Amino acid sequence: MSRAIEIEHRARFDKHKYDELLEFLKTNAQDLGQDDKNVYFFLLPDQILKVTDNVSQNSAKITFKSSKIGQGSDFAETEILISRQDVDQAVELFRSLGFKNMTESFQWRHNFLYRGVEIAVKYSERWGYHAEFEVMVSSKDEKTRADNLIRAVAQELGITLMTEAELRQFIAEKEAEINAENPRKN
């Protein structure tokens, strides 16, 4: 079984840049539509496990990524589609399996395709205004080309992508907040 590999970069910015980016993309990019999601993230040391209730698309899925934000831009990803009616059961299943530390995040998102890069312009309470730049590839051999394409598009749009160090620090701060709000229960 082959898994898709996401090449993904992120940027955070203020409301003014968010509005500017959204307006530019609405005029100049392929509009992929509103993509609002309620996401349940289970905090793992080196991986990402989440259950997503895609409100806008009336769909849901379980996603496992083999690495964590701040550990490189490439993520081997496995997704399992589920019914929206099964989201609560999926969350409960993972909690029952011992994944106690979880955070729920509603993301207001709008997706675009611009010059071969999918751009999700987002707002969430924890991240604030931000964007995710993504190119899907079928092998790690294509990673450098995808990274360069994302960087070129971000530069054209006047967006500064977060470095791996900035991402690690940001994620560590957010996980510390989550842990303080929701101490592990054994």
Domain boundaries, the chain: 4-181
- The Cα-based distances of 153 to 49, 111, 125, 157, 161 in angstroms read 29, 15, 26, 6, 10
CATH superfamily for 4-181 is Hypothetical Protein Pfu-838710-001 (2.40.320.10)
pLDDT for 44: 78
Going by DSSP bridges, is the β-strand pair 74-82/102-114 parallel, antiparallel, or unpaired? unpaired
- The alpha helices in the chain, defined as continuous H runs, are 15-28, 87-96, 143-156, 164-181
What percentage of the chain has pLDDT greater than the value 70? 90
pLDDT digits (tens, 9 = 90+) for 85-137: 999 999 999 999 988 778 888 999 999 999 999 999 999 988 999 999 999 99
Residue 4 pLDDT greater than 50, yes or no: yes
Question: Where does residue 133 rank: exposed (0-12), middle (13-18), buried (19+ CB within 10 A)?
Answer: buried
Q: Are 43 and 176 in contact (CB under 8 A)?
A: no
Please give the model's pTM, rounded to 2 decimal places: 0.83
pLDDT for 71: 58
Report residue 182's pLDDT band, with 50, 70 and 90 as the boundaries.
low
What is the token pair recorded at 51?
Answer: 């259950």
pLDDT for 46: 78
